[in-house]
Structure 1
Amino acid sequence: MLIGPYVNGTAVVIGGLVGAFLGTRLPERIRSALPLTFGLCSMGLGIMLIVKVKYMPAVVLAMVIGAMLGELFFVEKGIGKAAGYTRGIVDKFLPPAQGLTHQEFMDKFVAIVVLFCASGTGIFGAMHEGMTGDPSILYIKTVLDLFTSAIFATILGYAVVVIAIPQLAIQLALATLAAFILPMTTPDMMLDFSAAGGLIMLATGLRICGIKLFPVANMLPGLFLIMPFSFLWATYIA
């Protein structure tokens, strides 16, 4: 029985509720400084994953084509519309977030959707539990997500809680499919997959810190391309 995805999702809900309740009760300097710290941590984790890459040309090719597909199919725009719809529903029943324009809300909300749902730790942790039954990696992510969701909820309000739904769905799907996916992978393919996730986490950190607003959601299709690209590169080129 899978445990990790449910524990991780529960942490996001609890952290989001607590953070949204505290809201402006936390000093402004804390609400401003901590997201920058989480953005920096996201960049650090991303770099750590990137340096372990096996076939960087395959990763670059997958990410470039993936980003093109994301732009063509308006992935980020779709997530933004869903975020706006979610915010509208939540604000009808719970106190709305204060002090953010609609665009500022969208920029931050899309970034943390990617951070929670598409991080290398979450994806690999879900696949690891599905294959071995060991939820320890997702437990580590749970601790991080508890505090991260609380801090971002002080800015974005109760809408952060809703992120637990797609996060749980993605992790359950990956864990369920892991028994079929992992036997077809090699250690090098996993390293390249993690490196692609690291690039997205690096871009997410830069976006959270306001350094560069990368369209991180449009980069997600690259995650579906990297394993076959890595295999083909290792087989026919390397």
Structure 2
Amino acid sequence: MLIGPYVNGAAVVIGGLLGALAGSKIPHRVKSALPLTFGLCSIGLGINLVIKVQFMPAVVLAIILGAVIGELLYVEKGIGKAASSTRGLVNRFLPAAPGISHDEFTETFVAILVLFCASGTGIFGAMHEGMTGDPSILYIKTVLDFFTAIIFATLLGYAVMAIALPLVIIQVGLALLAVFIIPITTPAMMADFSCTGGLIMIATGLRICNIKLFPVANMLPGLVLVMPFSYLWATLIG
């Protein structure tokens, strides 16, 4: 029985609720500084994943082609529209987050949606539990996500809680697919997958810090491409 995805989703809901309730009591300068700190942490975690790479050319090719596919499919634009709809739906029932524009909300929401739902830790953790029944990796992510949800809910309000839904769906789906995926992967393929996730996390951190607004959602197809590319590179070239 799967446990990790539901615990992780519950942590996002509770953290988002606590952060939204505390948001009005936290000075604006603190709410502005906290996302910068977490953006830095995201960059650090991404670097830690990138250094595990085995076949960087395969990773680069997956990221580039994945970004092209994401741009052609308007992945980020679609997520942005979903974020706006989510904000409008949540605001019907709960107080809106004050002091943040529509564009600022969308930019930040898309970044943290990718951070929560597409991190290497979450994807690998869900696959690991699906294959072994051990939710320990997702428990680690749960602790991080709880505090992350608090931080960003002080800025975005109750809408952060809605991220729990796609997070649970993605992790449960990956856990169920893991029985078929894990046996055909190699350590090199997993390392390159982690590297790709790390590059996306670095781009997400830079975006959260407003250093460079990478279209991180459009890079997500690269996560699907990197394992086949890594296998082909190892087989044909490496």
Aligned position for 1:180: 180
How far is 1:28 from its partner? 2.2
Alignment partner, residue 110 of structure 1: 110
Q: CA deviation at 1:144?
A: 0.5
Could you tell me the percent identity over the aligned residues? 73
How far apart are residue 34 of structure 1 and its match?
A: 1.4
- Residue identity in the other structure for 1:93: F
> Once the 2 structures are TM-superposed, how far is the Cα of residue 29 of structure 1 from its aligned partner?
2.8
Q: CA deviation at 1:132?
A: 0.8
**Structure 2 residue aligned with 1:227:** 227
Task: Return the alpha-carbon distance in structure 1 between the equivalents of residues 192 and 129 of structure 2.
Answer: 20
Deviations 1:136-159 (CA, angstroms, capped at 9, x unpaired)? 110000001101001100100110
1:8 counterpart residue number: 8
Tell me the CA shift for residue 45 of structure 1.
0.5
Equivalent AA in structure 1 for residue 9 of structure 2:
G
Shift in Å, 1:216: 0.2
Counterpart CA distance in 2 for 1:165 and 1:153 is: 16
Task: State the match for 1:216 in structure 2.
Answer: 216
Where does structure 2 lack aligned partners over 5 or more consecutive residues? none
1:27 CA displacement: 2.1
Paired with 2:14 and 2:27, the residues of 1 have a C-alpha distance of: 21
- Show structure 1 runs of 4+ deviating over 6 A: none
Deviation at 1:219, TM superposition (A): 0.2
Q: Distance in 2 between matches of 1:127 and 1:30?
A: 36
TM-score, with length taken from structure 1: 0.99
Q: State the distance in 2 between where 1:135 and 1:30 align.
A: 34
State the partner residue of 1:44: 44
Letter in 1 for 2:21: F
> Following superposition of structure 1 onto structure 2, how do residues 146-161 of structure 1 map, counting pairs within 5 Å?
146-161=146-161
- Per-residue CA deviation, residues 153-176 of structure 1 (Å, 9 max, x unaligned), is 010011000000000000000011
Residue 74 (structure 1) aligns with: 74
The whole-number CA distance in structure 2 between the counterparts of 1:134 and 1:33 is 36
Letter in 2 for 1:131: M
CA distance in 2, matches of 1:44, 1:125: 19
Q: What is the CA–CA distance in structure 2 between the aligned matches of 1:22 and 1:4, rounded to whole Å?
A: 27
